[in-house]
Amino acid sequence: MFQSLSEKLQATFKRLKSKGKLTEADVNEAMREVRLALLEADVNFKVVKDFVAKVKERAIGQEVLESLSPGQQVIKIVNEEMIALMGGVSSKITIASKPPTVIMLVGLQGAGKTTHGAKLANLLKKQGKRPLLVACDIYRPAAIKQLQVLGEQIKVPVFSLGQEDPVKIARESLQHASSQGLDVVIIDTAGRLHINEELMEELRNIKATVKPHEILLVVDAMTGQDAVNVAESFHQELGIDGIILTKLDGDTRGGAALSVKAVTGCPIKFAGIGEKIDAIEPFYPDRMASRILGMGDVLSLIEKAQEAFDEKQAREMEAKLRKQEFTLEDFLEQMQQIKKMGPISSLLEMIPGMGKQMKDIQIDEKDMARVEAIIRSMTPEERRKPAIIKDSRKRRIAKGSGTSVQEVGRLLKQFEQTQKLMKQFAGGAGMGFMGKGKKGKKGKKMGFPFPFK
């Protein structure tokens, strides 16, 4: 999402870091480039003006211009101001002292309220809550059915009274939640193609009836500055407590994420980062700023790993790596765990310094599927002892996996190289097999297990 902005900012700061001493003119020139980069990223022009003024005021101070590493000091200031711009700290959901906690989702039609209601319910369920989804969108065709299907998928109950009055549905859902021992009620309200009085009147009536602890506005990041305008209008009419910004995994320019808190005063609480039901995460301003400035996001990477990997399995895998007993069966298991963490490109961008390298690495997720198909076409013995796989076995495996004999041979050769590589890491196991491979013609090759070209 922020790729273009990141590249421009990093290029600017690289020039600053190359200078031993900074003058006020150097800072002014850098700030001009920062201003242009932010405007091109569709950040609100008033927000850009204030942001640049604050950075410039701090950057031309004595402690920066006379420091030993002035370029790094400027980057530190930009990072701090960017974090402040997006809200400073992560804003959490208000949990009621007496259950149930009522969360009301609002927004325009097509923003993703129903889907993100289910995503939020799934996230809260993982945190030990017992959520209830409430179908109050009685106007959009199949909206109720969509919520029921999603609820079934994540095993969360859905409350519906069909085409009844939405205010009545919302009121009775609270009684149902209390009687069933459910502690979070997520109300999916109706949207419109644009903001109108009829929509707002219905939302105000629901708000007055259920007195929600949180009103979360769902907005589409792909709409750019229009997302900020929608947030401002809803906040004036309804008084929202936070925002769920969807499609942060898209190719939008990212201005909404940087503008919405400054313009509306409402923090972004969650970010939608993909199509899958678990593709939602709390929004951390410090981590987002770090990603934009190319510093990576190790904390989010660790959290994803902790969620995806079983601790007992990890210990067993470490023991195998230390003893050099890692097999294709183990690798298949590891690959399944890694896939749970999301797209490989997204994971790599969280590693400090990898943002710059991503341009040189071509990632084809289909290659991973082919590798998986090849391994699944092997017998258990072949997975444990790949050395027994000769020509006739290769032909059978290729036929079974829909690949070529050459691809099977290449995988076996890569695995053999990996086992040799592991001997070098025997003293300190972990994900040693992520070592650098040979540099290919098309860019950097990062070796097994990720089939990068």
Residue 81 has pLDDT above 80, yes or no: yes
Are 277 and 64 within 8 A, CB to CB?
no
Backbone dihedral region for residue 10 (phi beyond 0: left; psi -120 to 50: alpha; all else: beta): alpha
CATH 3.40.50.970 fits 3-85, yes or no: no
**pLDDT category of residue 90 using cuts at 50, 70 and 90:** confident
Position 363 scores a pLDDT of 57
Residues 157, 150: Cα–Cα separation, whole Å: 10
Residue 307 pLDDT greater than 70, yes or no: no
> What type of residue sits at position 163?
Q
Find the mean pLDDT for residues 359-383: 78
92-111 pLDDT, tens digit per residue, is: 888 888 889 999 999 988 88
State residue 304's pLDDT score: 58
Instruction: State mean pLDDT over 413-435.
Output: 60
According to CATH, the topology of domain 303-434 is 434 Repressor (Amino-terminal Domain) (1.10.260)
Choose between 2 and 235: higher pLDDT.
235
Q: Say which residues have a Cβ less than 8 Å from residue 160's Cβ, sequence separation at least 6.
A: 134, 135, 144, 147, 148, 169
What is the domain partition of the chain in residue ranges? 3-85, 101-293, 303-434
- For the stretch 239-257, pLDDT in tens is 899 999 888 776 556 677 7
Of 54-63, 66-75, 214-223, the range with the lowest mean pLDDT is 66-75
In the predicted model, is pLDDT for residue 65 greater than 70? no
pLDDT at 448 over 70: no
What pLDDT score does 311 carry? 62
Interval 326-353 mean pLDDT: 69
| pLDDT given for residue 275 in this prediction | 83
CA distance 224 to 227: 6
Q: Is the pTM of this model over 0.75?
A: no
Average pLDDT over residues 47-69: 79
Torsion angle in degrees (nearest 10) through CA of 310, 313, 319, 324: -110
pLDDT for 1: 55
Higher pLDDT, 66 or 200: 200
Q: What are phi and psi of 137, to 5 degrees?
A: -95, 95
Tell which phi-psi region holds residue 103, choosing left (phi > 0), alpha (psi between -120 and 50) or beta.
Answer: beta
pLDDT for position 429: 41
For the domain spanning 101-293, the CATH number is 3.40.50.300
pLDDT at 158: 95
Q: Is the pLDDT of residue 320 over 70?
A: no
Q: Residue by residue, what is the 3-state secondary structure of 45-67?
A: HHHHHHHHHHHHHHHCCHHHHCC
Q: Which of 371, 290, 367 is nearest to 332 (CA)?
A: 371
Per-residue pLDDT of 187-220, as tens digits, reads: 999 988 778 888 889 999 999 999 999 999 998 8
Q: Is the predicted pLDDT of residue 352 greater than 80, yes or no?
A: no
Compute the chain's Rg from CA coordinates: 26
Among 289-298, 302-311, 378-387, name the most confident range.
Answer: 378-387
Q: What pLDDT, on the 0 to 100 scale, is given for residue 431?
A: 41
Please name the residues in contact with 393: beta carbons below 8 A apart, sequence gap of 6 or more.
382
